[in-house]
Structure 1
Amino acid sequence: MDALGISFAMLLAVIASAFAVRVLPVAVPVPLVQIAMGAVIAGVFGRGVRLEPELFMLLFIPPLLFLDGWRIPKEGLFRDRATILELAFGLVIFTVVGLGALIHWMIPAVPWPVAFALAAIVSPTDPVAVSAITARVPMPARVMHILEGESLLNDASGLVAFRFAVAAAVTGSFSLASATLSFLWVAVAGLAVGAGFTWLVTAARDRFSRRFGEEPGAQILMSLLIPFGAYEAAALVHASEILAAVAAGVMMSYAELSGRASAVTRVQRTAVWNTLQFALNGIMFVLLGEQLPDIFRGAVGVVEQTGHENPWWLLAYALAISAALALLRFAWVWVSLQISMRTAARHGRQAPKASLRMIAAVSLAGVRGAITLAGVLTLPVALADGSAFPARDLAIFLAATVIIVSLIVASIGLPRLLNGLEVPPETEHHAQQDLAHQAARRAGIVAIEKKLRQLVEAHPQTDPQLYTEVASRIIESLTPQAALPEGDTDAARRDKQRAIAQVLHVAALQASREELFRLARRREISDEVCREVVRKLDLQEARLA
């Protein structure tokens, strides 16, 4: 009953946070409100949850990363793959080395391996928090896609670096060659396992559905279980579970381009996943707030190891680490942009341009979140010789504080940096939308004409003019209402028209969707545009049904 009551309280806190951000006089990101509510639940009411990191990772991380991989625009992911890889892997290594050295210099009581472990676990970024902060200010779509792609991959690179550093701290030994080979294995195997698992499941599902029909509830439940299956399959072969979940989501998006799922299934599945995403994201930040009182007490208990008696030094360390993270990120992005500009110029291409203001915004957008919290809490309690793990509570406190500081700074700084920034119009996106709508309409018209001939041939006793009138009205606007004349007083004729309109309209919608999926598979339109227009068609068919 206690577990049920606590779960109920956390869900209520998530719901309350959604209402709170709308009534507060100032714009406050939802994650900060949720963290505050979690801290109140634990500190004031004494109802906090003792977080089990491995269980947390299993329950929360796979579905959220799976959904991010599923919905992230693939066209942008591949177009900006060089930039994303530089941020997801190069920046992580740069951060681990630079920040690790700073932490050890600043706090000599923290050994080198522990300093590198702390630097590694604060390197992954959290796109959920960035999305919440930039919801009310314009962030260029391409920049947002780069940040999303970076966060999908740097979770894995940061966690792998963290585990290597922890292993070095526990065993007292480290091999660069072994670490490199291990990293390659966990990365490649994780991607292969996640993609392969999803392909097998979706292929079996589609084959069964073609033969026996489709049950929307079962299809939705299967989509919910896929990320957990991919995560556990990767764990069995000691590959990256994080990358497996991401790869599973990316493969799911490609599997969806087959268009075999019904409109009802897609509509219901979207609603279920949106609700799940909202609940899991909220609970994660509420849980973070609930951990803060215990984390602070543990850190104060070891503050003497740093040579200082005043606990305010803890905040000074956290602020210094947060500032170093932002500076390292700014330096990496600026240098990377300069290299990209010179490389493009040498090859005669138009060089990408970005102002210092935009680079600063990208630097502040590196907000830390759930992965950092879950990872740092997995620090072992003891070393291989049985002695206590050095500065464990201090590392946990610093990581948790960095999360909060990054959220606060981004919530204050990002809107000011982005406010008034000229965002270039998404001309390519609009052009693809126009192409998608025109192609869908043409395919719908062809399908209506084909179905019209079939109906006339199948019902020779019915006046062909009746079919032709209904088909003409649907073609004019492709909405079912256009096929239902208000002035017709013959009830029997009106009912017949309704039946014909529904048959013709469903045929048009199905043909339009097939054309959109074909264009997406051929990369003439992005999967994002395809998903957007297909959803409108699905809603129309759901209303007809």
Structure 2
Amino acid sequence: MHPVETLELVIALLLATLALHWIAARLRFPPAAALLVGGGTLAFVPGLPTIELDPELVLVLFLPPLLMDGAYFTAVASFRRHLAEILSLAVGAVVFTTLAVGLVVHWLVPLLPWAACFALGAIVSPPDAVSARAVLKRVSLPRRLSTIIEGESLLNDASGLVLVRFAVAATLTGTFSVTDATMSFGVLAIGGLAVGGAIGALWLFIHRHLHDETLMIAASVILCWAAYLAGEALHVSGVIATVAAGLVYGWYQHVIFTASVRIRGSSFWHVMVFLFEAMVFILIGFSLRGVMLRVGGIETVFATMAGPVVGALVAMTAARFAWVFGSDAILTLLGQLHLTNRQPLGAGAATVLGWAGMRGVVTLAIALTLPETMPGRDLMLVTAFAAILVTVLVQGSTFGLLIRATRLVDRDPPPRLSLAAAEAQVAQAQLVQVSALARSDDGELLHPRLLETYERRARQTGDYSADESAFTGAISAHFDIVIAAVAAGRAELVRLHRADDIGDETLHDLEHDLDLEELAAISAKA
């Protein structure tokens, strides 16, 4: 394909992405599912070229920024508090699912070597970070459950990749060592943490010496690929390196970023991540045609692979539920024996956690990297695509319904201070500083109106934190008026510009001030 034709195809896919996302929003359908179906439909449009995804490029291009974005917004304290449960799923559930799927596939296809069966299990075992993010954006979960699902999706790719590597090697060479596999995973994980932490520290050092906002934002974007590629180059986990760097980035951005960098950078990241997520799903759907051609067509799939594929999907889903409910039962037993004070999830939360197993780009990319000589390669490709399609369409589209049906209650201990109480303390700290700076050295009040503003703010936030219900309606009405006033000011500003009474510079400067005022009002009202 000519480079210009490739660019035209990319632009066409971006336009299709926007259209499918808009249609999904109108129909209240999960965007990921709409993009997957839309991409699969477009793949069979006559005249369109067959897209052959380069699996290595897909992982390097799409995975690091999406992992970075997830790690950036991770609540570190909650992540640390629930680390045992996260690792249980990210490592234990992946290994258990690999074994369960391998056993079922070997039972259904006895001629397929054991190692190849387990390789198939490892391919479909890790839920995908991109799929999890796409679904979690649309639902509201208790903090503990949300932290576990997000944390699992950030870490489990590493364990899945290690299992696939050893399963493929065992299939082709006939040898396998549990000790070597365990040691390898330990080196990959610990090395990934070290590399990610070092890259994050280096990023902090560089950032402190950058004095240009555009350079700061660009450096933040490059960080994700730098961590991933450094990890892979040093033969440790690029996934864990990216997550570790992202945690450092998210933890320190509050103290090293200016307000302007944070606002502009967040806006840039939001759009970039939206496009990357959308393109991942539409490209997965678009690759369906190539997968079908490679394995001999849809008729061949139904005639020779339907049974093993369905068996693998059932085993994959059942294994996750078995692990989640089994772990919760063990936690309940340990609690009854007074060996732990950690509360079990309960049937409702365990059901939701078991259903949150959407597969995505990593599953397909791993399958596409399999050697041509790998026994059962065609079956693995079809099973990988079926796992993505079924989990995104079925689990992704019903996840919100399941959450509403289970009526989950957030049992995590709330923070010591509420939002209103924290706001009151911040306002008090501001008042102390303004009180000191608003007077001259001899005590003369130089800025009485400024001091009055901060005194009023401290008084109002203190009253509100003492009795939130008494002021909620009045505050909402207050900021509705502020937002209406901003809209009137913006309309007048545009009128002045259209009448050539003001120049572009004045328009942009005053519009920026109005935008900040509107954002502040919307945030305060919320």
TM surpasses 0.5: yes
1:429: how far off?
A: 4.8
Compared with structure 1, are the counterparts of its residues 232 and 5 closer, same or farther at alpha carbon in structure 2 (3 Å cutoff)? same
- 47-56 or 156-165, larger mean C-alpha shift: 47-56
CA 1:315–1:434 in 2, change beyond 3 Å: closer, same or farther? farther
What does 1:96-175 correspond to in 2, within 5 Å? Answer: 96-133=98-135, 135-175=137-177
1:3 maps to amino acid: T
Aligned residues of 1:302 and 1:394 also touching (Cα < 8 A): no
Partner of 2:256, secondary structure, is: coil
- 1:160 shift after superposition: 1.0
- Indicate the larger mover: 363-372 or 173-182: 173-182
Alpha-carbon distance in 2 for matches of 1:435, 1:18: 39
CA–CA distance in 1 between the matches of 2:9 and 2:143? 38
Q: What does 1:210-359 align with in structure 2 at a 5 Å threshold?
A: 214-257=211-254, 259-300=255-296, 311-347=302-338, 352-359=343-350
Aligned partners of 1:109 and 1:391 also within 8 Å: no
1:445 aligns with 2:448: no
**CA, structure 1 residues 144+447, in 2 after alignment: closer, same or farther (shift >3 Å)?**
same
Aligned to 1:19: 22
1:119-141, Cα deviation, whole Å (9 max, x unpaired): 11211112443444455554323
What is the aligned counterpart of 1:199 among 185, 198, 201?
A: 201
Counterpart of 1:250 in 2: which secondary structure? helix
SS at match of 2:43: helix
Which residue of structure 2 aligns with residue 419 of structure 1? 404
Contact 1:133 1:410 in 2 (8 A): no
Q: Secondary structure at the match of 1:428?
A: coil
Give how far 1:92 is off: 1.1
The equivalent of 1:180 in structure 2 is 182
Write the distance in 2 (CA, Å) between the matches of 1:441 and 1:275: 33
Instruction: State the alpha-carbon separation in 2 of the partners of residues 33 and 326 from structure 1.
Output: 22
Tell me if the contact between 1:263 and 1:539 (Cα under 8 Å) persists in the aligned partners: no
Amino acid at match of 1:439: Q
Shift of 1:29: 1.2
Question: 1:158, CA displacement in angstroms?
Answer: 0.7
**Alpha-carbon distance between aligned partners in 2 of 1:138 and 1:234, rounded to the nearest angstrom:** 34
Deviation, structure 1 residue 176: 2.3
Structure 1 residues 174-221: Cα deviation after superposition (integer angstroms, max 9, x where no partner): 222222222211111111101111111212321x14xxxx21100000
Aligned sequence identity (%): 31
Maintained 8 Å contact 2:189/2:236: yes
The change in CA–CA distance for 1:256 and 1:81 in structure 2 (over 3 A counts) is: same
Q: Distance in 1 between matches of 2:397 and 2:450?
A: 57
Q: Which residue of 2 aligns with 1:385?
A: none
Contact 2:51 2:290 in 1 (8 A): no
Could you give the per-residue CA deviations for residues 438-496 of structure 1, whole angstroms, max 9, x where no partner exists? Answer: 3311221122112212xx459x9xxx6661123212331379x99xxxxxxxxxxxxxx
Deviating more after overlay: 232-241 vs 266-275: 232-241
After superposition, the Cα gap between the structure-2 partners of 1:282 and 1:222, relative to the gap in structure 1 and judged at 3 Å, is same
More displaced stretch, 74-83 vs 347-356: 347-356
C-alpha RMSD over aligned residues: 2.9
Deviation at 1:52, TM superposition (A): 0.5
Query: Aligned to 1:431, which of 417, 422, 428?
Result: 417
Q: What TM-score does the superposition give when structure 2 sets the normalisation length?
A: 0.81
Aligned 8 A contact 2:313 2:387 in 1: yes
How many Å apart are 1:301 and its aligned residue? 6.2
Cα distance in structure 2, aligned partners of 1:466 and 1:196: 48
Measured in 1, the distance between the counterparts of 2:73 and 2:45 equals 39
Paired residues of 2:32 and 2:281 also in contact (CA < 8 A): yes
Q: Distance in 2 between matches of 1:348 and 1:178?
A: 32
User: Could you say which residue in structure 2 is the equivalent of 1:90?
Assistant: 92
TM-aligned CA deviation for residue 94 of structure 1: 0.9
| Structure-2 residue corresponding to 1:506 | none
> Quick one: which amino acid aligns to residue 411 of structure 1?
G
1:360 correspondence with 2:360: no
- The aligned runs of 1:59-78 (5 Å cut-off) are 59-78=61-80
In structure 1, list runs of 5 or more residues that go unmatched: 304-308, 382-387, 483-535
Deviation digits for residues 306-337 of structure 1 (CA, Å, limit 9, x no counterpart): xxx77255344333222211111111111111
Distance 1:94 1:170 in 2: 23
Q: CA deviation at 1:62?
A: 0.9
Alignment match, 1:518: none
Partner Cα distance (1:188, 1:349) in 2: 27
Distance in 2 (CA, whole Å) between partners of 1:538 and 1:265 is 19
Distance, in Å, in 1 between the alignment partners of 2:400 and 2:160 is: 27
2:42 aligns with 41
Tell me the residue number matched to 1:527: none
Name the SS of the counterpart of 2:343 in structure 1. Answer: coil
State which drifts further: 148-157 or 33-42. 33-42
Structure 2 stretches lacking a partner, 5+ long: 461-477, 480-515
Contact 2:367 2:381 (C-alpha < 8 Å) held by counterparts: yes
Counterpart of 1:525? none
Q: Is the 8 A contact 2:195 2:231 kept in 1?
A: yes
* DSSP-derived class of the 1:124 partner: coil
TM-score, normalised by the number of residues in structure 1: 0.79
Partner of 1:471: 451
Task: Label 1:40 to 1:440 Cα distance change in 2 as closer, same or farther (>3 A).
Answer: same
Q: Tell me if structure 2 keeps the 8 A contact 1:266–1:538.
A: no
| Higher deviation after alignment, 185-194 or 164-173 | 164-173
Q: State the aligned residue count.
A: 464
Preserved CA contact (<8 Å) 2:100 2:316:
no
SS at match of 2:406: coil
**Distance across 2 between alignment mates of 1:432 and 1:159:** 42
Q: Kindly tell me: are residues 310 and 116 of structure 1, through their superposed partners in 2, closer, same or farther at Cα, counting changes over 3 Å?
A: closer
Please say if residues 30 and 397 of structure 2, whose CA atoms lie closer than 8 Å, have aligned partners that are also in contact. Answer: no
Matched to 2:164, the amino acid is F
1 CA distance for matches of 2:137 and 2:233?
Answer: 39
Q: Which amino acid aligns with 1:447?
A: Q
Residues 27-83 of structure 1 show CA distances to partners (whole Å, capped at 9, x for unaligned) of 321111111221233210423422111111111111111111111111211111111
Query: CA separation of 1:196/1:438 partners in 2, compared to 1, >3 Å: closer, same or farther?
Result: same
SS in 2 for 1:311: helix
How far apart, CA to CA, are the structure 2 residues paired with 1:16 and 1:134? Answer: 22
Q: Deviations over 1:237-268 (max 9, x none)?
A: 211111111111111122224x1211100100
Alignment partner, residue 400 of structure 1: 385
In 2, the alpha carbon distance for the partners of 1:221 and 1:36 equals: 34
2:25–2:31 Cα contact (<8 Å) kept: no
CA contact (8 A) 2:130 2:361 kept: no
